[in-house]
Structure 1
């Protein structure tokens, strides 16, 4: 495969429909520049990454194939297709060239994005949103109860207040995913079909199978912060994908923090054992970082290095009960976390503060008390009006 680890990782995320729009553009730009040169991955290499990509029915495959042909004609670089196009329709999920394979990944993601989510989720809204397997969305109200159904109308989960519990009765042939999105100012609890319990912090998105499949790993995808109490199952490792990092466990309690503004992805282990490794690699207990209870593992997003150190785990899990902790954190990032926690808008006109680092811990405090602390201890002057904070 390509010797460049960055494009490897991007390509993997691309074919698995995990790229951001910026990353998609980067992959396409790389393709346009290199096309089918020797350093491009082979079809077999890329095909191995497609196992987790959602399957397409014949009608969708044909539609995407036609989109690929149309786009090819519009590009300056023309992609020549073999005469027997029907073979590509028949085997579109295992495309016979990297060109078509990338086209499928791009247009399938584009197609799903257009049909499933017309607008980017607004984390400053007041609604917890559940996105179902067919692209429909369901609003979760903590004041009410509701049922979650699959495409056939079968009940797969029950929600009551701030908790959603999935059933473990069905035996599906393929993985079907739901995605839950927690807005700023709220938290939520989720019990997966295997009994794993997840606490979701504000501003968090979790994609997970409605039902796990026997013989396959139990994998979920996290953007944000969550505390996992994983149900023990030695035959089916539980894997949390946090962008470029995988966290692998069999049964344990741990916290994962993976917000966009953070320079590192943190994993704090409370009980059991977890392995940390890059998402484009296979797990290897002899080579990968293995955390022990009471330790924090930090994955540096810039250089892909993992470091560990002993910590007081309560500090990092206190958010579950309303706590708030900053450790050697820039004020710019603190502002982002305060906005997420309290669903407020903070305008900082004191530019000198932005890159200064602070340490602070709070129990369940109001935003007024938190800002008052910064004013008293660090001399940060501010005003609060209509859910907006102005730092002078």
Structure 2
């Protein structure tokens, strides 16, 4: 593990019981090198947390930690395991981080996670993750109704189920960013401090200010797909950064799709107007592409060329209410969308299907019904087992 971000990523995977044997050995090697301290939780601590964060069985926790102990003893590393501490319980109540199981006190006091670099997020996890400005991680449960606090403990908003609403009356005087990461199979909503509502699709990351500061642009950073209902503010343009593309608005409804695997970033305008331009440029309404309602602008990621055409906007926004729509879409692209939507793995052994194009629309249907449709209408043979779909 050569960087703090790699360490953090592996510790998260370790707690979620997702490490390969090789990665587990890396975790062991890390603790052997740095030595465990009395802040490190015991196996009993881990077991007591299972009811709050049921990620691994008691036997698995026992086996892994005993493996660490035996491995370190073999190498004559001194280990100090303290009895359970009362202050460890406070981390249960906030469930602020999956790395709590490895001792937040140890990790942060030693400065292991003091880094601005982003750890790789596993979108096939089941957790919605909120990362604060200082790198602290909180797990968002869609069943919660709780206050949202910043790294200093100040209340900056409220979560009610599948939506977080940020407060414009907080005392923040400088930009502080939160980053929310939505795994496959889930959707979420944000109401930003200016009143803008953002619907986040599965497999999406959004970085945004906890509070917009007067005199500065309202800028957010998107990887994935989101629908924006932007609060009007003529003095403060709202800018969505999608890698090399900026989308600039004052107040409007539009959808941005910017998944890493897609060849283009698509912007679909429902109402109002938006400007599209390269991040290296300054916006100029006379030179840059300005979309009209009912149009889609596609930004080619290779040559930075923007192409526009009229579209039926409902096709691109039906996902907000659980819909799925495919129009003249290749089967390999359909597979990608299904994997994100349902958090499944699809293995296609019928290579002839990959580039065939299909049209289909679904409401909020299960993956079983979607696949049954493709079988009934197009004769696609498949099996489903343990969240894996094999197409024969």
TM normalised by structure 1 equals: 0.69
**What are the equivalent positions in structure 2 for 1:61-140 lying under 5 Å apart?**
115=115, 119-140=119-140
After superposition, what is the alpha-carbon deviation per residue over 1:320-367, rounded to whole angstroms, capped at 9, x for unaligned? Answer: 111011223222221111011001111111122222222222111111
Shift in Å, 1:238: 0.1
Q: Secondary structure at the match of 2:178?
A: strand
The equivalent of 2:319 in structure 1 is: 319
Shift in Å, 1:280: 1.4
Asked if structure 2 preserves the Cα contact closer than 8 Å seen for 1:330 and 1:358, the reply is yes
**What are the equivalent positions in structure 2 for 1:67-216 lying under 5 Å apart?**
115=115, 119-216=119-216
Shift in Å, 1:146: 2.1
Distance change in 2, residues 1:277/1:113 (3 Å): farther
Asked if structure 2 preserves the Cα contact closer than 8 Å seen for 1:297 and 1:308, the reply is yes
Count of aligned positions: 282
Q: Secondary structure at the match of 2:270?
A: strand
The equivalent of 2:243 in structure 1 is: 243
**Which stretches of structure 1, 4 residues or more, deviate above 4 A after TM superposition?**
111-114, 116-119
Shift in Å, 1:171: 4.8
Asked if structure 2 preserves the Cα contact closer than 8 Å seen for 1:222 and 1:240, the reply is yes
- Whether 2:219 is the aligned partner of 1:257: answer no
Distance 2:302 2:324 in 1: 26
Distance change in 2, residues 1:240/1:351 (3 Å): same
After superposition, what is the alpha-carbon deviation per residue over 1:222-252, rounded to whole angstroms, capped at 9, x for unaligned? Answer: 0011000000000000000011111100000
Q: Secondary structure at the match of 1:115?
A: coil
After superposition, what is the alpha-carbon deviation per residue over 1:86-131, rounded to whole angstroms, capped at 9, x for unaligned? Answer: xxxxxxxxxxxxxxxxxxxxxxxxx998736785211111111000
Distance 2:240 2:338 in 1: 25
Q: Secondary structure at the match of 1:304?
A: coil
The equivalent of 2:377 in structure 1 is: 377
TM normalised by structure 2 equals: 0.69
Aligned-CA RMSD value: 1.7
Distance 2:124 2:153 in 1: 31
Q: Secondary structure at the match of 1:142?
A: coil
Stretches of structure 1 that go unaligned for 5 or more consecutive residues are 1-110
Shift in Å, 1:152: 2.6
Distance 2:112 2:169 in 1: 28
Asked if structure 2 preserves the Cα contact closer than 8 Å seen for 1:227 and 1:254, the reply is yes
Asked if structure 2 preserves the Cα contact closer than 8 Å seen for 1:225 and 1:255, the reply is yes
Stretches of structure 2 that go unaligned for 5 or more consecutive residues are 1-110
- Whether 2:312 is the aligned partner of 1:308: answer no
Q: Secondary structure at the match of 2:338?
A: helix
Distance 1:222 1:389 in 2: 29
Distance change in 2, residues 1:144/1:173 (3 Å): closer
The equivalent of 1:228 in structure 2 is: 228
Q: Secondary structure at the match of 1:195?
A: coil
After superposition, what is the alpha-carbon deviation per residue over 1:244-280, rounded to whole angstroms, capped at 9, x for unaligned? Answer: 1111000000011111121111111111110011111
